[in-house]
Amino acid sequence: MAFQPLVDLSTRETYGYEALVRGPNCEPAYTVINQVNADNIYQFDQFCRVKAICLAAEFGLNKMLSINFLPGAIYKPNMCIRTTLAAAQANRFPIELLNFEMVETDHVTDIARLESIAQYYQKIGLSIALDDFGSGYANLDWLAYLNPNSIKIDISLVNEIDKSPKRKLIVKQLQQMTSSLGIEAVAEGVETKAERDVLAEIGITRQQGFFFARPQFEQFITVPDACYR
């Protein structure tokens, strides 16, 4: 696993880290994910969760740990979460610090199943985020049905937002809408100071991207103060 900081410009601090899958020798995520299929998706999902929790506990992390998961790997929320909870308990990692980013690579027709997963996770104290929001298959109706704690605005809307009035307007409307719904908006893929500043001006102070730090293999790095200036 590699870990990338999640920063809050309003407090000038790192409030969490996202766990990103890597190969055993730091190979890119796609080289691992390309090997995932229907036969091993459950084992893969469970291994990633446990590995991320173990590394976070070993480091002594006391901030949010954000873990991607594939809804297709979950057949029964109450059954499939047991390994995660056991890993958290064994490593004394607080479950209230766990945030699960819902990633979907295929078009979803069974929204009720996703809703049941989100509701159960939140019921036992976990947070839910919708990853890559604004691209792919996730629709606005997911906000109503799934009631996530947060959304992560996709890099396709963040990239060069300082040069695109259309992107700025779209993201501004997303921020206003999610704020009204009590859902936090986080911008991912921030790569320049200009992008950072436009997003902050819009009201999105929670951000993630190469501008602050690249993912580090099995490390939880501190974001330099210069990134907040």
Complete DSSP assignment for the chain? -EEEEEEETTTTEEEEEEEE---TT---HHHHHTT--TTTHHHHHHHHHHHHHHHHHHHT--SEEEEEE-GGG-S-HHHHTHHHHHHHHHTT--GGGEEEEE---S----HHHHHHHHHHHHHTT-EEEEEEETSTT--THHHHHH--SEEEE-HHHHTTGGG-HHHHHHHHHHHHHHHHTT-EEEE----SHHHHHHHHHHT--EE-STTT---EET--PPPPGGGG-
Distance CA 46, CA 21 (A): 12
Residues in the chain: 229
Distance CA 39, CA 56 (A): 28
User: How much is the pLDDT for 138?
Assistant: 62
- Over residues 7-24, the mean pLDDT reads 95
- Over residues 197-201, the mean pLDDT reads 98
Q: Count the Cβ atoms, other than its own, within 10 Å of residue 223.
A: 16
- Domain encompassing residue 175: 2-228
- Over residues 162-175, the mean pLDDT reads 96
Whether the CA torsion 97, 21, 45, 157 is positive or negative: it is positive
Percentage of the chain lying above the pLDDT 90 cut:
70
User: Of 121, 110, 120, 104, whose CA–CA distance to 69 is shortest?
Assistant: 104
User: How much is the pLDDT for 7?
Assistant: 98
User: How much is the pLDDT for 80?
Assistant: 79
- Over residues 6-17, the mean pLDDT reads 97
Which residues fall within 8 angstroms of residue 174, CB to CB, at 6 or more apart? 133, 134, 151, 153, 157, 185
Number of domains in the chain: 1
> Residues 93-133: pLDDT tens digits?
999 999 999 876 555 667 888 888 899 999 999 999 999 89
Q: Is 6 exposed, middle or buried (0-12, 13-18, 19+ CB in 10 A)?
A: buried
Of 50-54, 115-119, 141-145, the one with minimum mean pLDDT is 141-145
User: How much is the pLDDT for 105?
Assistant: 55
User: How much is the pLDDT for 220?
Assistant: 97
User: How much is the pLDDT for 73?
Assistant: 73
CATH of the domain at 72: 3.20.20.450
User: How much is the pLDDT for 140?
Assistant: 82
Provide the whole-model pTM: 0.93
- Over residues 65-83, the mean pLDDT reads 82
| Residue 213 · residue 194 · CB < 8 Å | no
The answer to whether residue 76 scores a pLDDT higher than 80 is no
Query: Which residue in this structure is represented by tokens 């979803």?
Result: 108
User: How much is the pLDDT for 101?
Assistant: 94
Query: Which residue in this structure is represented by tokens 């409030």?
Result: 15
